[in-house]
Amino acid sequence: MVGDSSVKHVPKVTVIIAAYNCSHTLKCALTSVLDQTYADFEVWVVGDCCTDDSEQIVASFCEPRLHWFNLPQRVGSQSGPNNEGLRRAQGEYIAYLGHDDLWFPWHLESLVTTMEQTNADFTHALAAIIRPDRGAEGIGAPGAAKSYKCRFVPPSAWLHRREIIETCGPWPIPEKLTTGVDFTFQQRAFLAGCHMVGTGQVSIIKFPSPHWKTYVRSDHHPQPSYLARLQRNPSCLHQELLTELVVEGVRRTEIPDLKTSFRSFLRAIYWRAVDCYGRDRWPVVALLRWRYRRGRRRLIMLRGLSGK
């Protein structure tokens, strides 16, 4: 019936946040979602068997668009929470946000606008990566004559149509992979023929947990101060980050030392040989899986998750 208030509203966007025992940063992330200029969304915060007060943090907002679900058994990867979020999602579009990342207020609006103007299947923002020991680094669309096959963009920058899951599959489990679950998911979307487009706009601030040792720190996390600046004057912070990105970009174009150049040259030859031989052929696939498992263990230790 026209005007029937009993008809439940279906949101356009579902935001999925995979969470694990990091409620102090989760609160900041959720605040940045609720500050969005685009409001037609629901949020599923899915805990990876959380044992902290994350559920209470979600409930404290008293916001009907926020939903909580805690997995009964820990997966140890964002794949589990993200797939659970996809099963519960109602939105036509799916966005992701790391529990320790932040969005500028225009993030969802710019992604949805780009999606609908370009008829894309998969859009993404330009991410400003913040590390404690260097200036901001930008990660966005691949350069000229390059593709998304080897270009990784952090999931906190993504927006994709929910229907692409039918062709590229759900988030993979990490045990048999040679690259990260997020990069593998993005590659599958690209190889499935998804039309991928970048907004070209910085609208996400990412804090890599291995660099910030997220689970080791008890205080002095960077998210609260950045969130305060986002709420006070987002345009000013945006301009500051753009300046840092330009300065860092210029620094990277300077002539590197001989040692760095030689190592980059050897690395390029190595990966070219791997691609020519085939990453899925033995023994290369076994080597890549070993490298990935070793790297994953190291990242877990750097985050402060060993033994948890």
- Residue at which a domain ends, from 217, 237, 253: 253
Pair (143, 290) in one structural domain: no
For residue 4, being part of any structural domain is answered with: no
Could you give the percent of the chain with pLDDT greater than 90? 60
What pTM, to 2 d.p., does this model score? 0.87
By CB atoms closer than 10 A (0-12, 13-18, 19+), residue 126 is buried
Pair (181, 264) in one structural domain: no
| pLDDT score of 249 | 66
| pLDDT score of 1 | 41
Run of H or E including 13: strand 13-19
Pair (94, 169) in one structural domain: yes
Q: What is the mean pLDDT of residues 216-227?
A: 84
302 has a pLDDT exceeding 60: no
Q: What is the mean pLDDT of residues 171-200?
A: 91
For residue 54, being part of any structural domain is answered with: yes
227-251 per-position pLDDT tens digit: 999 999 999 999 999 988 887 666 6
Pair (90, 236) in one structural domain: yes
For residue 197, being part of any structural domain is answered with: yes
- Residue at which a domain ends, from 235, 253, 271: 253
**What residues form DSSP beta bridges with 197?**
123
**CATH assignment at residue 148:** 3.90.550.10
Query: Cis link prior to 283 (omega < 30° from 0)?
Result: yes
Pair (62, 170) in one structural domain: yes
54-111 per-position pLDDT tens digit: 999 999 999 999 999 999 999 989 999 999 999 999 999 999 999 999 999 999 999 9
For residue 3, being part of any structural domain is answered with: no
Pair (221, 298) in one structural domain: no
Pair (295, 180) in one structural domain: no
For residue 83, being part of any structural domain is answered with: yes
For residue 5, being part of any structural domain is answered with: no
Pair (106, 148) in one structural domain: yes
Q: How confident is the model at residue 258 (pLDDT cuts 50, 70, 90)?
A: low
Pair (263, 133) in one structural domain: no
Domain carrying residue 276: 258-303
- Residue at which a domain ends, from 253, 269, 285: 253
Q: How confident is the model at residue 2 (pLDDT cuts 50, 70, 90)?
A: very low
Q: Which residue has the higher pLDDT, 245 or 38?
A: 38
Pair (163, 273) in one structural domain: no
Q: Which residue has the higher pLDDT, 213 or 63?
A: 63
By CB atoms closer than 10 A (0-12, 13-18, 19+), residue 90 is middle
For residue 20, being part of any structural domain is answered with: yes
275-287 per-position pLDDT tens digit: 676 667 667 667 6
21 has a pLDDT exceeding 70: yes
| pLDDT score of 288 | 66
Q: How confident is the model at residue 271 (pLDDT cuts 50, 70, 90)?
A: low
| pLDDT score of 44 | 98
For residue 7, being part of any structural domain is answered with: no
Helix axes 23-34 and 223-232, enclosed angle (nearest 10): 20
Pair (24, 132) in one structural domain: yes
Pair (32, 179) in one structural domain: yes
| pLDDT score of 23 | 92
What's the structural domain count of the chain?
Answer: 2
Task: Please state whether beta strands 66-70 and 41-47 pair in parallel, antiparallel, or not at all (unpaired).
Answer: parallel
36 has a pLDDT exceeding 60: yes
